[in-house]
Amino acid sequence: MKVEFKAAQIAALLGGTVEGDPEATVWNVARIEDGAPGMLSFLANPKYIHYLYETKSSIVLVNADFEPTEKVNTTMIRVQNAYEAFAQLLAIYQEYTNNKVGISDLACISSDAEYGENCYIGAFAFIGERVKIGKNVKIYPQCYVGDDVVIGDNTVLYSGVKLYAMTHIGKECIIHSGAVLGADGFGFVPQPDGTYKKVPQIGNVLVGDNVEIGANTTIDRSTMESTKIHDGVKLDNLIQIAHNVEIGENTAMAAQSGIAGSAHVGKNCIVAGQVGISGHLTVADRTIIGPQSGLTKGVSEPGKSIMGSPAYDYTKYMKDIVRQRNIDKLDCRIAELEKKLDELLSK
């Protein structure tokens, strides 16, 4: 679907001012260096200023205090922060184009399930017994929503999301395709004969408001009580969250990271890609964990940056890396000194 916007309309949405043709029209976005007629771009980084004078984009968002040094041939919209305004515009566009409403005849919805106004439930979605779904929720085709699940207002479940029984999802959440919430935690008791006896997992998963969960990410139900993902958490694709884990508000975690059972990660932490966190650890608020790190012990001091496996202070880690890269030079120097020492001793 091709949706067109004029410069005057965009300026009104963003609280900006038009400098150029208010009738200039766009229907898609592009990087300023790849601009073409009908495209909207933005200029936020000073090193890209030279592209403004040659871009073919029909409209470019610029900061209010930007002063051009050459003639600008495109229409500019001045806003307080061009990058933030661009993100805001993308969000408005996405909301406009994804504004699906209605219940498919091919959806399977239990008779005692409840859902609010303006919901969308796509073809072949399954909604279990006693499910409660809020207003403006979008459940795309082939989603599974188990018994006693609760979903808050304005939440989106993209195709193929699976919510096991008793999972609770807050408001304004986005869960991407292939995510599985509420599968059994990995609980087994070793037996004398070398086999394993399964420990029933009877808890659930609680997800707060304004949480985003990436594609193919899995969050296990707790053995008892709840696995908790608090408000504002952002989880990338391909992440594993084990049973009884708790992740604090506004923590962000990149792809291919994993947290073992009963670990607690604090608020406003940043976890880079491919990080492993051992079970039953506590990670303090505002901790930053570098990529491919492994935590074998907790972090008690808030605001620390760590890296490595096992992870330790980031600054010390970087110094150690420099030393490691100089090992060959040091080895040659030691060999040379030993040679000179042998010569002196032989005399």
Distance of CA 219 to the CA centre of its chain: 14
Considering only CA atoms, which of 257, 232, 346, 1 is closest in space to residue 247? Answer: 232
Q: What percent of the chain has pLDDT over 70?
A: 99
Over the chain, what is the mean pLDDT? 95
Q: 153 exposed, middle or buried (CB, 10 Å; 0-12, 13-18, 19+)?
A: middle
Predicted local confidence at residue 323, as pLDDT: 85
How far is the C-alpha of 187 from the C-alpha of 201, rounded, in Å? 8
When pLDDT is cut at 50, 70 and 90, the band that residue 328 belongs to is confident
Please say if the pLDDT value at position 72 is more than 60. yes
Predicted local confidence at residue 324, as pLDDT: 84
Considering only CA atoms, which of 288, 281, 292 is closest in space to residue 303? Answer: 288
The average pLDDT across 224-247 equals 97
Considering only CA atoms, which of 279, 298, 278 is closest in space to residue 287? Answer: 298
Query: Amino acid identity of 334?
Result: I
The average pLDDT across 121-141 equals 98
Helix (H) or strand (E) holding 219: strand 218-220
Q: Are strands 218-220 and 196-198 parallel, antiparallel or unpaired?
A: unpaired
Helix residue ranges, H only, 143-219? none
42 Cβ contact partners less than 8 Å away, ≥ 6 residues apart: 32, 60, 61, 62, 82, 83, 85, 86
Measured between its terminal Cα atoms, the distance across the chain in Å is 90
The average pLDDT across 101-116 equals 96
Please say if the pLDDT value at position 303 is more than 70. yes
How far is the C-alpha of 183 from the C-alpha of 30, rounded, in Å? 40
How far is the C-alpha of 153 from the C-alpha of 175, rounded, in Å? 13
Predicted local confidence at residue 1, as pLDDT: 55
Residue 324 CB neighbour total at 10 angstroms: 9
How far is the C-alpha of 201 from the C-alpha of 343, rounded, in Å? 72
How far is the C-alpha of 133 from the C-alpha of 130, rounded, in Å? 10
235 Cβ contact partners less than 8 Å away, ≥ 6 residues apart: 211, 212, 213, 214, 217, 229, 241, 252, 253
How far is the C-alpha of 136 from the C-alpha of 74, rounded, in Å? 38
**Any idea which residues carry the catalytic annotation?**
243
Higher per-residue confidence, 180 vs 92:
180
When pLDDT is cut at 50, 70 and 90, the band that residue 198 belongs to is very high
Does the N-terminal peptide bond of residue 310 adopt cis geometry, omega within 30 degrees of 0? yes
φ, ψ (nearest 5 deg) of residue 34: -110, 20
CA-CA-CA-CA torsion for 270, 275, 279, 282, nearest 10 degrees? -20
pTM of the model: 0.83
Task: Label residue 148 left, alpha or beta by phi (over 0 means left) and psi (-120 to 50 means alpha).
Answer: left
Distance of CA 331 to the CA centre of its chain: 44
Structural domains of the chain, with CATH: 5-97 (3.40.1390.10), 102-317 (2.160.10.10)
Nearest-5° Cα angle at 121, 118 to 123: 145
